[in-house]
Amino acid sequence: MVNSSPAVAAHAEGEEIEVLETTDVLPAAPEDQWKSLFDKHDPENSGCISTEHFRDLLKAYGSELDPHKLEVLIALADGNADGKICYQDFVNLVSNKRSNSFRRAILQGSRQLRNSALREEVGLGLSQRLVRHVAYETLPREVDRKWYFDSYNYCPPPWLMLAITIAEVIVFMYYGLQLNCWVLQVSSPYFLKSPLPYHPQLRVQAWRYLSYIFMHAGIEHLGLNMAMQLLVGVPLEMVHGALRIGLVYVCGILAGSLAVSVADMTAPVVGSSGGVYALVSAHLANIVMNWSGMKCQFKLLRMAMALVCMSVEFGRAVWLRFYPPAFPPSPNPSFVAHLGGVAVGLTLGIVVLQNYEQRLQEQSLFWIFFSVYSLFILCGIFWNIFAYSLLDVKLPPPP
C-alpha cells in the first residue's frame, strides 16, 4: 500500500509552502528519493540547489538520515559561502566518501555543532562504547568522532594488525622450539640461518627487506613490539582502514631495512620496530599537533608511558647492537630500523592520520612526502647495488 500523505517543505524568506506528493518523489531507493527532491528545486539541471532549499529539504526529510550526519549537513548548508549545494557533494557526504565537500563540512561543522558531545550519549552497547572509545583515542574533532561513530560497523574488522601480530607470534614460537631458546634468540648460531631476517650478505634476496619483521631477537623484543602494535595499530586501523595504516606500516618497514643498509652496513635486522615506530610516532605527533582537540583520558600520562616504552625498546636495541656478539665477527642486529620508522611516521604518517576526512590523492603534502620517500627508496636500491663494492665494505660471513 502506497502512503500518499504529503510532506511539507517550507521555503525561506516567506516563499510559499510547496506540497510534495510522496508518490511522485519518494521511490524505494533513498538515493533516488533525494535525487528527485534535488531535481524538484533544480529546473536548470545544474546539479546544485540553493542552500535555502537544501536546508528546507533537511528539515522535511532529515529524520531519515543518521543524526550526526544531519548535523554535518546542516553545518555545510549554514557555512557554504557560494550559496549552492551540489547533489554529488551530498551523496559523497552521506556515503562517507572522502572528498573536498566532506572536508569542508567537517571544518565548518566543528565550529557550528550545537548538540551534545558523543561522550554524553547513554544507553550504548559494548561494541558501540568500544567504537566511541576508539573515536576519542584517535580523532581530534567532535564532528569527526560523531561521523565515525555512525559510519563504523566492524566490516571489515581490523584484520591487518591482528594478522601480522599472530604471524609474528607463530614464527617466534616456531623458532623458540627449534632453537630451544626464548630470550635473546639472536645468540643462537642458527638464528640468522632463517630465510626471514635481513642480512647484508644476502641483500640480493629482496624479500628480506620486508620479511625480517617476523623474526625477533627474543621474547622481550616481541613483547614490546606486540604491545605497541596492538594498542596503537588496531585503533588506528579501525578509524583509517587497513589500506592507509598498511601503507604507513609497510613504508616504515622498508625504510627501516634500507636505513640499516645505508647507515649500519654490516649489521643484520630483525623485528617489526620499523613499522611499529612509524605508526606510534605518527599517532603521538598527531596528538601533539591537535592537543586541545584530543579528548582521550589521561593523555599526558599515556603519552609519557608510550614514550617510555619506545625509549626502553630503542635502548634495548642500542645495547644489543654494541654488546659483544655471541659469534664474531657477525654483529648483533642493528637499531637503525627504529629511526627509519620514526622518520616515516613524522612525515608520511602524519599526513595520513591528519586527513581522515579527505582522499589522500587530493593532498599535495601527501604527494610531496611520498615523492621524497620514493626518492629515498630509489637511492637506497642504488646504494645496495653499488656502494658496498665501491666502498670495499668488509661484510660478516653469510649465516
Active site residue 338: yes
**Placement of cell 549545494 in the chain:** 85
154/238 Cα distance (integer angstroms): 8
Identify the active-site residue in 101, 273, 330, 334: 273
Q: What is the DSSP string of 287-350?
A: HHHTTTT---TTHHHHHHHHHHHHHHHHHHHHHHHHSPPSSTTSPPPPSHHHHHHHHHIIIIIH
362/260 Cα distance (integer angstroms): 32
Identify the active-site residue in 199, 240, 283, 338: 338
The count of other CB atoms within 10 Å of the CB of residue 263 is: 13
Exposed / middle / buried, residue 342 (Cβ in 10 Å: 0-12, 13-18, 19+): buried
Active site residue 68: no
Coil, helix or strand for 142?
helix
What is the biggest distance separating any 2 CA atoms in the chain, rounded to whole angstroms? 90
The count of other CB atoms within 10 Å of the CB of residue 59 is: 14
What is the DSSP secondary structure assignment for residue 180, as one 8-state letter? T
242/246 Cα distance (integer angstroms): 5
Which residues are part of the catalytic machinery?
273, 338
